[in-house]
Chain A
Amino acid sequence: MDQQLPRSRWFTWFDQRLQLEDLLHFLRKKSVPRHRHSVWYYFGGVTLFLFLIQVATGILLLLYYKGSEDLAFESIRFIMSKVEFGWLIRSIHSWSANLMILAALIHMFSVFFTRAYRFPRELTWLTGMLLFFLALGFGFSGYLLPWNELAFFATKVGTEIIGAVPVVGKPILEFLRGGGNVTGATLSRFFGFHAAVLPGVFTVILSIHLIFVQRQGMSEPLGTEPRAENEGKTMPFFPNFLLRDLLLWLIVLNVLVILAVFFPWELGKKADPFASAPAGIRPEWYFLFMFQTLKLLPAKILVIDGEIVGIAAFGLAGILWTLIPFWDRKSSRGERNRLINYVGVFVVMYIIVFTILGYLM
C-alpha cells in the first residue's frame, strides 16, 4: 500500500521543505469502511464542497453587492445584468445554498439512521447539529439580502414568529430587526451576520467537526461492524475515497451549473415597505414545514396561543433531536433501538408532507 511512486521535481522541492511524504504516509494509512451504507459517507463531503462554493461565490458577490436599503436591489440587478458572469455567480450562490441545506439534511438523517452519533461520536453529532443550525441562519439572513418583495415580507413573517416566543421573543426580534420593523437597519444587520459573523463561527465549528471526524474515523452502522467474513473490507482514504469524493463533487458542480443556466435565480420586484404583502408569501422550502404547521394550528390551544404552542413544540423537538446521543443509550451500548427508526421515519415523513402542503395550500 505504502509504495513509493516516482516523484516529480516539484514534489521533491516541496517535500524537502514541508515533509509532504509524511502527510502522504498519514493519508495512506487512513481507511474508510466498505459496506452497503457506505454511500451515505459522501454527503458530508458534498455539504463541505457546497459550503466552499458558497464561500467562493459569496466573496465574488461581495465585490459588487451593496448592503443598504437604497442600493441592495440595484446592486444585485447590476451584478446580474452588467457584471461578466455575475448572473452565473449569483445563481450558483443561490442554488448551492439550497443544495447545501439539502445535502446537510441528508447527511444528518444518514448519521441518524446509521446511529453514527452513538458513543464515542456524541461531540461530532453536536458540532454537526450546530453547523446545521448555522446553515439555516445563513439561509434566513441571505434570503433578505436582495431586498426584494418576497424576501422582505418573508423576513417580516419569519421574525414575527421569533417575536412570538414568550419573554425573550421581543428582545430577539428587536435585535434581529434593528428596531420594531423590517427596515434598512435589518438589512445591514442581516448582511453583517451573513457575510461576517456566521462565516467566522461556521469555519471554527466546521474545523472542530472535521478534526473530530479525523480523530475518530468513520463510524460503521450497527450490524455492519467487522465480522469474520467482512474483516478487512475497507478502502484507503487516499487516493480511493478522496477521488470518489472528487468525482461526486464534479457531478454536483455540473448539476449546479445546469440549474443556474436553465433556472436562473429570479430577482423579483424591489421591496416596498409601504406596499401590502403580495399573495403567496412563504419562507424558503426548508422552513416551510414549520411555517405550514404554525398556519394550521388553531388560534388557541386550551388557553395558550396556538403559535406559541407550535414554537414550543418545535423548540422541544429540536432540543431532543440534538441531544439524541445522550438519551439513546441502547445504540451506544451497541444494541438495536427500533424507536429511533420510528422517530426518524416520522420526522422525515412529517417534513415531506408539511412541505408539500406548504406549496399546495
Chain B
Amino acid sequence: MTKISSGRKALSLLTILVLPVSVSAHLTADRPIDQCFVCHESMGDKPSALFKHDIHLKNGISCAGCHGGDSSKDDMELAMNPKAGFIGVPKGDRLSEVCAHCHADANAMKSYGSSLRTDEYQLLQGSVHGQYAVEGKQRIAQCTTCHGAHGIVSPRDPSSPVYPTKVTATCASCHSNAVYMQRYNPALPVDQLEKYRTSVHGDRNAHGDSKVAECASCHGSHDIRPAKDAKSSIYPVNIPQTCAKCHADAAYMRPYAIPTDQYEKYVKSVHGVALLEKHDTGAPACNSCHGNHGATPPGVQSISKVCGTCHTLNAELFGSSSHKKVFDERKIPECESCHGNHLVEHATQDLLGVTTGTTCARCHTPDDKSQGYTAAKRMRVLMDSLSNTDLSAVTILNQAEQKGMEVSEATFKLRDARQALIESRIVVHSFDFQKFKTVADKGLSIASNAREEGDRAIHEYYVRRIGLGIATLFMTLLAVSLFLTIRRIERKT
C-alpha cells in the first residue's frame, strides 16, 4: 500500500508539472489554436477551468468537438455560428449522441490511439439506465451522468467519478436518493451504499483498495440490467459466476489470503446443482447466505439463522434442541458442523448414526455413554428401516404394475411414506428420539401397507392364472363333450 501511495503522489506531481506544458504545447505547437478555449479561459469560467484537465483536450479535441462551431475563429459571431455547426449545450439524449459520435466509431477512436470499447453507447441504451425517464423526453442516464462533462479523465484516474473508490458515491448520488428513486422503482432499497460500507468490500474500498468489489464489479457499467433480467450479471443463476470472477481467481485474491475454492465447491453442492443445473432460481446463490451489498461471511452464531431463512423447520427444531446450548457454549458453528458450507451435499441418512463417516460420530463415541450416542444409533436404524421398506414397496408395486395389476391407489398412498421419510429427516434436528419415532413409525406403517397391497396384487396375478387354467380346462371339457354330442347326433341322422 505504501508503495502504491508513493507512486500515486509521484504521478500527481508529474501531472501537475507536465499538464500545463502539454496543454500549452497542444495549443500552440502542433495543433491549431483552440479559440474557444482561449476565450473562455480568459473569461475564467468553470467549464474551461475543468476542461483544462480533460482527457479530450489532451488528445486535441476542442470545445467544438462537442459543442460544434469553428474553434479557429476568434470572432464569437463566427465561431459560435450555427451555420458552422454550433449546437450550444447539448440537451437530453443529444448529450450521449455527441459522445457516441466518436466513442461508438471504432475508426475515430483508433485515430486517437484509443483502445477503449466502442459498444458502450449501444450497451447503455439496452440497459436499465437506457430506459426513458419519467418525463419521457430523454433516457434516464446520459454519459455525463456518471463521467461528468468538462473534467472527464480516464476511469483509471483516481480522480475520475467512475474510479473504483469513487464510483460508489457516483451511483449513490441517485440510488441513495429516496425521493428520486421512488419515481422509478419505489420497491428498490436506497440503502445499498450504507450496507456496502458495512461489508468487507465496502470497508476496504473506503480505505482506498481499488481491487475490491464495488457497484460496477457486480452490476456492470454500461450494460446494467435489472436483477430479474436473465442477462443480468446479478440474475440468480449468474451470481455465482459473477462472484467467482474475483473469488475463484487465486492470483487476484492472493493479497487477501482467503480460499478461492468456494465456487468449485458450490457448483458441486446441492444448492449449486439446484441453481446452475436445474435452474431453480429459488435455490441459494452466494448472496443468499453472505448478503449482497453488505456481503460478509456469517458469524458462527448466526449460521443457523442464515440457513434458517430457508430451512425454517430445521432451524426451529435445532433451536429448541439440546444441541443448541452445547453448540453455543463451545462456539461450534451450527448447521455447518454437520452439513458443511459451500459444499453442502444432499442430506441423506448417511449423515446420521454412529458408524464411521457419520456426522454424529464426530462427537458421540461409544465411550462417552451418552444418550446422544444411543439416540443417533437408534434413529439411523429406524430411518434405514423406513427407507428400505419404502424401497421394497416401490419395487413390489412396480412388479405388480408390470404384471398388469391395478395398484395405482397403493402407489398413490406410498407418497405419504416418502413424505414421512422427508419429515423424519427434518425432525432429526430435534435430536429427540420419541419425536423422530412418531414420524418414522407413521411412514413405516404406510410403506408396509403399500408393500402388502403389492404382494396381494402379485399373489392375485398368479391366482388369476390358476383360475384361468381351471376355467379353460372346464370349457375345454365342455367343448369336447359338445363336439362328441354333435358327432353322435350327426351319425344318427
Contacts and interface: CB of A to CB of B under 8 A. Distances in A.
Interface of A: 1, 77, 80-81, 87-88, 236, 239-240, 243-244, 246-247, 250-251, 253-254, 257-258, 261, 263-264, 266-267
B486 A258 contact: no
A267 B486 contact: no
Contact of B493 (A236, A244, A251, A253): A236
Contact of A257 (B472, B483, B490): B472
B445 interface: no
A250 B479 contact: yes
B471 A257 contact: yes
A1 B409 contact: no
A250 B486 contact: no
B379 to A, nearest CB: 36
Q: Give the 3 A-B CB pairs with smallest separation, nearest first.
A: A80-B406, A81-B406, A264-B404
Contacts of B182: none
Interface of B: 404-409, 464-465, 467-468, 471-472, 475-476, 478-479, 482-483, 485-486, 489-490, 493
B478 A250 contact: yes
Nearest to B474: A254
A263 B403 CA distance: 9
Given A240-B493, A261-B465, A253 B475 contact: yes
Given A240-B493, A247-B486, A254 B408 contact: no
Contacts of A243: 482, 485-486, 489
A236 B408 CA distance: 53
Nearest to A260: B468
Given A1-B493, A240-B489, A243-B486, A254 B404 contact: no
B138 to A, nearest CB: 46
Given A81-B409, A258-B468, A247 B404 contact: no
Nearest to A1: B493
Given A240-B493, A250-B479, 7 more contacts: A77-B408, A240-B490, A243-B482, A243-B486, A244-B486, A254-B472, A257-B475
A263 B489 contact: no
Contacts of B468: 257-258, 261
A103 to B, nearest CB: 18
Nearest to B483: A247
A81 B478 contact: no
A198 B467 CA distance: 34
Contacts, number: 54
Contacts of B483: 247
A258 B472 contact: yes
Q: Which of B405, B464, B467 has the most CB of A within 10 A?
A: B464
Nearest to A264: B404
A87 B485 CA distance: 34
Contacts of B478: 250
Which among B408, B409, B467, B471 has the highest number of chain A CB atoms within 10 Å? Answer: B408
10 contacts: A77-B408, A88-B464, A240-B486, A240-B489, A247-B482, A247-B486, A250-B478, A261-B464, A261-B467, A266-B404
B481 to A, nearest CB: 10
Nearest to A239: B489
B234 to A, nearest CB: 34
Contacts of B490: 240
B477 to A, nearest CB: 10
Nearest to B469: A261
B403 to A, nearest CB: 9
B96 to A, nearest CB: 47
Contacts of B476: 254
Contacts of A257: 468, 471-472, 475
B472 A77 contact: no
Nearest to B475: A254
Contacts of B407: 81
A88 B405 CA distance: 11
Contacts of A264: 404-405
Contacts of B409: 77, 81
A7 to B, nearest CB: 17
B271 to A, nearest CB: 31
A278 B171 CA distance: 53
Contacts of B406: 77, 80-81, 87, 267
Contacts of A236: 493
Given A258-B468, A258-B472, A263 B404 contact: yes
A267 B405 CA distance: 10
Nearest to A79: B406
A299 to B, nearest CB: 38
Contacts of B479: 247, 250-251, 254
Contacts of B489: 239-240, 243
Contacts of A246: 482
Contacts of A244: 486
A14 B478 CA distance: 26
Contacts of A88: 464
B465 A250 contact: no
A148 to B, nearest CB: 12
Nearest to A236: B493
B313 to A, nearest CB: 32
B320 to A, nearest CB: 42
A147 to B, nearest CB: 14
A243 B488 CA distance: 12
B108 to A, nearest CB: 54
A266 B482 CA distance: 35
A257 B474 CA distance: 12
B58 to A, nearest CB: 64
A264 B401 CA distance: 11
A250 to B, nearest CB: 5
Contact of A250 (B404, B464, B482, B485): B482
A213 to B, nearest CB: 22
Nearest to B467: A261
Contacts of A81: 406-409
A58 to B, nearest CB: 20
The listed residue with most A CB atoms (<10 A of its CB), out of B472, B482, B483, is: B482
B209 to A, nearest CB: 55
A155 B145 CA distance: 64
Nearest to A241: B486
B422 to A, nearest CB: 25
A239 B485 CA distance: 10
A273 B409 CA distance: 22
A264 B461 CA distance: 11
B187 to A, nearest CB: 33
Which of A87, A247, A258 has the most CB atoms of chain B within a 10 A radius of its CB? A247
